[in-house]
Amino acid sequence: MKQKIINVDLKVNLDPLINFTQGIFQKKEIKIITEELSRVAGFLWDRRWAERNAGNISVNITSLFSIKDLDKFSTYPFLPLPREYAGLKRQLLLITAAGSRMRDLAMDPLEELCLVYISDSAKAYHIIAPERIEKEPMPTSELPTHLAIHEMLCRTNAPEKALVHSHVTELIALTHNPKFLSAESLTGILWKMHPETVIFQPKGYGFVPYTIPGTEKIATLTARCFENNPVVIWEKHGAMAIGKTISEAFDELDLAAKAAGIFLSCARNGSEPDGLTDEEIREIRQHYCL
């Protein structure tokens, strides 16, 4: 099904697709994912990591649809992509909409979500939104980063399908300390603060120096980091995590925040903690065969 990008028209007649669109969002598997997304959005808001419209979430849901269904997604309105995403051809992502708020997603996720289907040409994406959304749905402004990461995950056949970005206060605070502006130093301090980080993140944490959000540059740098680390910290901005599920990705952010919070609590009381020794970290690695 070859397709040329001929125009950008979000006002095409969607009437013939209403039943199909409604069916997508009533599908049992999609309901489970949107409910999970809603729960996690509530956690992000409760932790104060999601001020205003901060944060975004996406899940690759291609495997839940038949080839025939995927063909239908090609008939929805479409927009050009900033570059070709060859590794994402005919992939379907559930993604939070631009301007959506986590506190609203926690209440009613269908009002704040859309689907993005990458065209056969891999140079455009189709937008599918729950039928009752009245405003024009557009995916998050961090779309380039989500696409670059999902493309890398597809290329490497990774089991991770979900991606969560949030303004994790504790991690942002760490990156305001010049001592922690590298993957090595951030990993070192997080491992030292909490044994669980060694167990669950044995490869350590990724780090992207300050870069303007929503750009191709941050997308490329972040996707590269995710090849080795399931959590990537953005200097003075926040963090992203991948997981097999949205909850799993949230767990990774939560754990990193816990470790960073321990450091900050000690620092607030006037003492920079020594944390676990190198020998103690080595013992944990040996015990868990990491």
The residues of the shown chain that bind Zn ion, judged by CB under 5 A, are 238
Rounded to a whole number of angstroms, the minimum distance from the CB of residue 237 to Zn ion is 6
Nearer to Zn ion, 55 or 137 (CB): 55
Report the distance separating Cα 68 and Cα 90, nearest Å.
Answer: 12
- Tokens encoding 108: 């009613």
End-to-end alpha carbon distance in the chain: 46
The CB-of-55 to Zn ion minimum distance in angstroms stands at 6
Residue with tokens 């070859």, as numbered in its chain: 2
Whichever of 62 and 175 has its CB closer to Zn ion, that residue is 175
Phi and psi for 115 in degrees, rounded to 5?
-105, 145
Q: Mapped to the 3 state alphabet, what secondary structure does 202-271 carry? A: CCCCEEECCCCCCCHHHHHHHHHHHCCCCEEEECCCEEEEEECCHHHHHHHHHHHHHHHHHHHHHHHCCC
Is the Cβ of residue 49 or residue 263 nearer to Zn ion in the bound state? 49
Residues serving a catalytic function are 142
CA-to-CA distance for 226 and 95, rounded, in angstroms? Answer: 19
Q: Which is nearer to Zn ion, 24 or 97 (CB)?
A: 97
For residue 116, the cross-strand partners are: 93, 127
Beta-ladder partners of 118? 125
List CB contacts of 13: < 8 A, sequence separation 6 or more: none
Least distance between Zn ion and beta carbon 167 (Å): 6
Nearer to Zn ion, 55 or 130 (CB): 55
- Give the nearest distance from C-beta 240 to Zn ion in angstroms: 9
DSSP-derived 3-state class of residue 23: helix
Report, in Å, the least distance between residue 112 CB and Zn ion.
Answer: 16
Looking at beta carbons only, is 24 or 239 nearer to Zn ion? Answer: 239
Taking the CA atoms of residue 248, residue 255, residue 58 and residue 118 in that order, the dihedral angle to the nearest 10 degrees is -90
CA-closest candidate to residue 85, choices 173, 6, 149: 149
The residue whose Cβ lies closest to Zn ion is 238
> CB of residue 166 vs Zn ion: minimum separation in angstroms?
8
